[in-house]
Amino acid sequence: MTYPPKGSAAPPAPAGAPTMPGVPPQAGPAAPRGGPATPGTAPARRTAWAEGVDQLRATATTEPGRLRIIGAVLALLVVAFGAVTAWQMTERSAAADDVLHSSQPLSASAADIYRSLADANTAASSGFLAGGQETKSSRDRYELDIKTAAGKLITAANSSEPGSPSADTISKLNKLLPEYKGLIERARANNRQGFPLGGAYLRYANEKMQQQMLPAAEDLYKRENQRLSADYADAKPYPWAAIGLGVLALGGLVWAQRRNYRRTNRVLNQGMVAATAASTVVLLWLVVGHSVARAGLDESYDHGVRSLNVLHDARIASLNARGNENLTLVSRGAETKTLADGTTTVDAFDYDFQQDMKTLTKDLALAADLADDKAGEEPVQAATGNMKVWKSRHKEARAADDAGDYQGALNKVIGSKSDKPTGECFDGVDKNLALALTHEESEFKQAAGGGRDAMTGLPVGAAVLAVLAAAGALLGIGRRLSEYR
């Protein structure tokens, strides 16, 4: 325990003295450093650092000494290059992995919550319109949506940090879901008894869904998308520190070999050449690998995530439009809305339907723009076609209702195939959007997976190669050094 202070205290005086004159130009800075220290404290302040500097100066006076220093610095540079590369690329590859396996699935899961809630609301209103003749498929669809939403909420809860805004939103949704379901069941019970009160309950449930639950689900979806964007931002930037160190290490190696050549006229030093080669490989791998990964991630974002977002939005717009179309017939004019001009009064649900259709039209156009291949374009075009038919059939349904032909309007909305109902068009839009989503999802996985795979092995490879390069540099220097013995 008493060794180190003794060891460091003893040599300074003799070692320090000879160094000063040994390297006159560097004596300047050394002297003032020692200078301010009072003589009494001087030995105590002779730290290991100062001692090391002094030793270095002593060593630098001889060629073997210089070679040793050069070897050490080169080895250090190369190892640092490898280490920083491994560290930075581990980080990026982890972020890319998160994009692929964590944040995108969570974002998709949040979109599923959003979609299944909107879908449940739509299915509930369709079933309600059919009254006592509600079909099994519409009942099943509603129940499945509720189950999906409840299940995905648990998944989302598990991956959210307690106390975070996401967790709050999730618990809010968890509270609202049974409330909503209760209202729907009351609506059904009253409807089955033939009471118009059922319609009032359904409108209340819809209000809860539209004004509280869907905004919360959308909020969650946006948060997960932010997380996804953050992971993208972590995975994509160029590892400048690693690249800089790589250039520095390579420069050092080249300089050392040039110095070697000048002094000995020997062209090749095998160790150093090996070190240079290994470092070059790491640097190239780093730059090319990351560029490829970046391109993959960019593609997965541009053609995957952006398309997915637009398609999700379009699907939810179509679901809301369908729900509002149904509710127009359920509410039968019970709720109206005065437009901004202050004079025009319209049916609240038909107005919302028109707004949703506008969103759907816009999103489908955007999705068609973003679709980059035939397989992606086809379902979007098909959905657009369905939507156009939907719009014209909706007009017929409204005309029938306005003319007092309620049953005609009902048939035009939820009727059987022979009635050419809008339900057919909605199903078409929904089915085609689901197809497009599946396609974009696989595109995303391919591109993001490719991006992530481009980084695979880079951290380990860089570390191993850097160690080899450092060993090579040391061996190369060692060979020169042995000539002095």
Partner 1 sequence: MTARRLRASLKGWGGVGAMAVACALAAVFALLLPLSNARGDGSTGIGGQGVAEGTQVKEDTCTAPQDQSLSPSSDESGTTITAIKKRGYLSVGVDQNSYRWGYRDPNSTKKSSDLEGFDIDLAHEIAKEILGDPNAVRFHAIPTIQRVPAIKDGQVDMVVRTMTINCARLKDVAFSAPYFLTGQQVLAPKTSDITGYDKSLANKKICSASGSTANDKLKADQGSGKLVPSADISTTVPNQLDCLVRLQLGEVDAVVTDGALAASQAAQDPTVELKGDRFTTEYYGVAMKKDADDLVRRVNQVLVDYRKSGWRASYDKWLSPTLGADSESANPPAAKYK
CB 123 to partner 1: min, Å: 17
Q: Do 293 and 92 form a contact (C-beta atoms < 8 A)?
A: yes
Q: Cβ of 14: how many Cβ atoms within 10 Å?
A: 9
Q: Which is nearer to partner 1, 85 or 331 (CB)?
A: 331
CB 336 to partner 1: min, Å: 5
How many amino acids of this chain bind partner 1 (CB under 8 A)? 35
Backbone angles phi, psi at 333, to 5 degrees: 85, 10
Site string for partner 1, 402-441 (x = CB under 8 A): xxxxxx--x-------------------------------
Near partner 1 by CB under 8 A: residue from 148, 204, 210, 298: 204
Near partner 1 by CB under 8 A: residue from 172, 332, 362, 479: 332
Near partner 1 by CB under 8 A: residue from 81, 114, 180, 201: 201
Q: Which is nearer to partner 1, 199 or 472 (CB)?
A: 199
Q: Which is nearer to partner 1, 195 or 240 (CB)?
A: 195
Residue found by looking up tokens 């008894």 in the block: 193
Instruction: Pick the stretch among 317-325, 326-334, 385-393, 451-459 that binds partner 1 (CB under 8 A).
Output: 326-334
Q: Which is nearer to partner 1, 287 or 334 (CB)?
A: 334
Footprint on residues 101-160 left by partner 1 (CB under 8 A) = 128, 131-132
CB 194 to partner 1: min, Å: 5
Q: Which is nearer to partner 1, 264 or 344 (CB)?
A: 344
CB 121 to partner 1: min, Å: 17
Site string for partner 1, 210-249 (x = CB under 8 A): ----------------------------------------
Q: Which is nearer to partner 1, 178 or 196 (CB)?
A: 196
CB 137 to partner 1: min, Å: 19
Q: Which is nearer to partner 1, 53 or 200 (CB)?
A: 200
Q: Say whether residue 178 binds partner 1 (CB under 8 A).
A: no
Q: Do 74 and 252 form a contact (C-beta atoms < 8 A)?
A: yes
Q: Which two tokens stand for residue 381?
A: 């075009």
Site string for partner 1, 179-198 (x = CB under 8 A): -------x---xxxxxxxxx
Using only C-alpha atoms, what is the Rg of the chain? 36
Q: Say whether residue 351 binds partner 1 (CB under 8 A).
A: no
Near partner 1 by CB under 8 A: residue from 264, 333, 358, 369: 333
Near partner 1 by CB under 8 A: residue from 61, 336, 438, 442: 336
Among the listed residues 330, 355, 322, 323, the one whose alpha carbon sits nearest the alpha carbon of residue 425: 322
Residue 16 CA to residue 46 CA, distance in Å, equals 10
CB 354 to partner 1: min, Å: 17
Instruction: Pick the stretch among 334-342, 371-379, 416-424, 461-469 that binds partner 1 (CB under 8 A).
Output: 334-342
Collapsed DSSP state (helix, strand, coil) of residue 132 = helix
Residue 213 CA to residue 114 CA, distance in Å, equals 9
Q: Which is nearer to partner 1, 204 or 238 (CB)?
A: 204
CB 36 to partner 1: min, Å: 53
Instruction: Pick the stretch among 77-85, 309-317, 325-333, 386-394 that binds partner 1 (CB under 8 A).
Output: 325-333
CB 338 to partner 1: min, Å: 8
Instruction: Pick the stretch among 45-53, 141-149, 289-297, 329-337 that binds partner 1 (CB under 8 A).
Output: 329-337
Q: Which is nearer to partner 1, 52 or 131 (CB)?
A: 131
Q: Cβ of 265: how many Cβ atoms within 10 Å?
A: 7
CB 404 to partner 1: min, Å: 4
Mind spelling out the 3-state secondary structure of the chain?
A: CCHHHHHHHCCHHHHHHHHHHHCHHHHHHHHHHHCCCCCCCHHHHCCHHHHHHHHHHHHHCCHHHHHHHHHHHHHHHHHHHHHHHHHHHHHHHHHHHHHHHHHHHHHHHHHHHHHHHHHHHHHHHHHHHHHHHCCHHHHHHHHHHHHHHHHHHHHHHHCCCCCCHHHHHHHHHHHHHHHHHHHHHHHHHHHHCCCCHHHHHHHHHHHHHHHHHHHHHHHHHHHHHHHHHHHHHHHCCCCHHHHHHHHHHHHHHHHHHHHHHHHHCCCCCHHHHHHHHHHHHHHHHHHHHHHHHHHHHHHHHHHHHHHHHHHHHHHHHHHHHHHHHHHHHHHCCCCEEECCCCCCEEEHHHHHHHHHHHHHHHHHHHHHHHCCCHHHHHHHHHHHHHHHHHHHHHHHHHHHHHCCCHHHHHHHHHCCHHHCCHHHHHHHHHHHHHHHHHHHHHHHHHHHHHHHHHCCCHHHHHHHHHHHHHHHHHHHHHHHHHCCC
Site string for partner 1, 271-310 (x = CB under 8 A): ----------------------------------------
Interacting residues with partner 1 (CB under 8 A): 128, 131-132, 186, 190-201, 203-204, 331-336, 345, 347-348, 401-407, 410
